Amino acid sequence: MTVVADLVERARSGDARAVGRLISLVENASPSLREVASALMPYVGHARVVGLTGSPGVGKSTTTSALVRAYRQQGQRVAVLAVDPSSPFSGGALLGDRVRMQDHATDNGVYIRSMASRGHLGGLSWATPQALRVLDAAGCDVILVETVGVGQAEVEIASLADTTIVLLAPGMGDGIQAAKAGILEVADVFVVNKADREGADQTARDLRHMLSLGERRDPDTWQPPIVKTVASKGEGIDEVIAALAKHREWLVASGRLDARRRVRAADEIEAIAVATLRERMGDVRGGTMLDQLAGRLVASEVDPYTAADELIASLRHD
């Protein structure tokens, strides 16, 4: 048995260290990446992936921890993947969160992992889906993906989940910020956290108003619910779980689950293909070819589109 096959077998039997090593192979773009990817395929497709996104300090980690507790009470196996798109390092920035997750440290039905993805060819779209497959193959029922950081990367992460929770909190100017980042469109469930603070009702009202502006009349369209929570006390978490279950039912019944997964699969294949082409272009042979074409373009011997066609053609016949 190969090292990879052995790791996959151990991961499937619940060995957390094997899961960790497989994710590291993915994260570090190890030469055995292809073997890992293909070895996982027979065992994936079961896990539900839930993304949590929102500004720093809004309560993502606290909510994640409360959701873990609730799912564990239902007897589900849960994984938490904390992704930091802005950091090239694992761990560092997420250390605080991991400490908070100590609550679950001794529960072997919970797997917690942080992952950095900057510096990867193809970025998030490339490494994160593989890490999700590792966790899926390891028998996780629910995978909670928490993003650290804001902006476009957040939206990208949201596109990896079956269901995306967008968190807001009163008094953070979140509504406007969220609208700017285009985050409202990716929300399947809104959580207004810190409902113990003044202004939570107003935040929920503002949000409802903003949503009503863009509301689609189509009865088949999912209307994202707004749930108020006090994550630090576990209040409203059952309602979040219920909203997630309802969204899941809708995804399956409407055929959108399959549609979303196909879009994601296409994105993933494309990202890998583009990364592969980039790599080949950087190869000695591709680099030389590019250099020659650049010389011809400067000398006005070729137009840039024809030159690009020639480059692509040369990469194909490797």
Ligand X SMILES: Nc1nc2c(ncn2[C@@H]2O[C@H](COP(=O)(O)OP(=O)(O)O)[C@@H](O)[C@H]2O)c(=O)[nH]1
Question: Which residues would be at the binding site for Mg ion (CB under 5 A)?
Answer: 60-61, 97
User: Binding mask 261-300 vs ligand X (x if CB under 6 A, - otherwise)?
Assistant: ----------------------------------------
User: Binding mask 226-255 vs ligand X (x if CB under 6 A, - otherwise)?
Assistant: ----xxx-----------------------
Specify the residue, 57 or 304, whose C-beta has the smaller distance to Mg ion: 57
| In the complex, least distance from residue 264 CB atom to ligand X, rounded to whole angstroms | 24
CA 258 to chain centre: 17
Residue 35 makes CB contacts below 8 A (sequence gap 6+) with: 2, 4
Positive or negative, the CA dihedral 181, 143, 108, 34 is: negative
| In the complex, least distance from residue 182 CB atom to ligand X, rounded to whole angstroms | 19
| In the complex, least distance from residue 53 CB atom to ligand X, rounded to whole angstroms | 9
CB atoms within 10 A of CB 175: 16
Closest CA relative to residue 84, chosen from 183, 22, 151, 159:
151
Task: Say which residue the tokens 């193959």 belong to.
Answer: 137
Residue 201 in tokens: 């009702």
| In the complex, least distance from residue 225 CB atom to ligand X, rounded to whole angstroms | 18
21 binds, among ligand X, Mg ion, none (CB under 5 to 8 A by kind): none
In eight-state DSSP terms, residue 50 is E
| In the complex, least distance from residue 57 CB atom to Mg ion, rounded to whole angstroms | 8
Distance from C-alpha of 229 to C-alpha of 278, rounded to nearest angstrom = 45
- Cβ atoms of 116 and 94 within 8 Å: the answer is no
81 binds, among Mg ion, ligand X, none (CB under 5 to 8 A by kind): none
β-strand 226-228 against 142-147: which pairing, if any?
A: unpaired
Specify the residue, 71 or 126, whose C-beta has the smaller distance to ligand X: 71
Secondary structure of residue 33 in the 3-state scheme: helix
Phi, psi dihedrals of residue 283, rounded to the nearest 5°: -60, 160
Please list every residue from 165 through 194 that binds ligand X, using CB under 6 A. Answer: 193-194
Residue 20 in tokens: 């960790």
Distance from C-alpha of 82 to C-alpha of 2, rounded to nearest angstrom = 29
* Residue range at the interface with ligand X (CB under 6 A); choices 22-30, 55-63, 212-220, 281-289: 55-63
# binding residues, ligand X (CB under 6 A) = 15
Task: Using CB under 6 A, pick the residue from 197, 209, 278, 285 that binds ligand X.
Answer: 197
Task: Using CB under 6 A, pick the residue from 58, 124, 161, 244 that binds ligand X.
Answer: 58
59 binds, among ligand X, Mg ion, none (CB under 5 to 8 A by kind): ligand X
* Residue range at the interface with ligand X (CB under 6 A); choices 39-47, 52-60, 131-139, 278-286: 52-60
Specify the residue, 61 or 193, whose C-beta has the smaller distance to Mg ion: 61
Task: Using CB under 6 A, pick the residue from 15, 196, 267, 268 that binds ligand X.
Answer: 196
Alpha helices in the chain (DSSP H): 3-12, 16-27, 33-40, 60-73, 95-100, 124-137, 152-158, 174-180, 200-213, 237-254, 256-282, 284-298, 304-316
* Residue range at the interface with ligand X (CB under 6 A); choices 35-43, 53-61, 118-126, 178-186: 53-61
- Cβ atoms of 163 and 52 within 8 Å: the answer is no
164 binds, among Mg ion, ligand X, none (CB under 5 to 8 A by kind): none
**Residue 62 interacts with ligand X (CB under 6 A): yes or no:** yes
Task: Using CB under 6 A, pick the residue from 25, 36, 47, 59 that binds ligand X.
Answer: 59
Q: What is the CA radius of gyration of the chain?
A: 22
Distance from C-alpha of 71 to C-alpha of 75, rounded to nearest angstrom = 6
Residue 57: CA count within 13 A, CB half-sphere: 5
Binding site for ligand X (CB under 6 A): 54, 56-62, 193-194, 196-197, 230-232
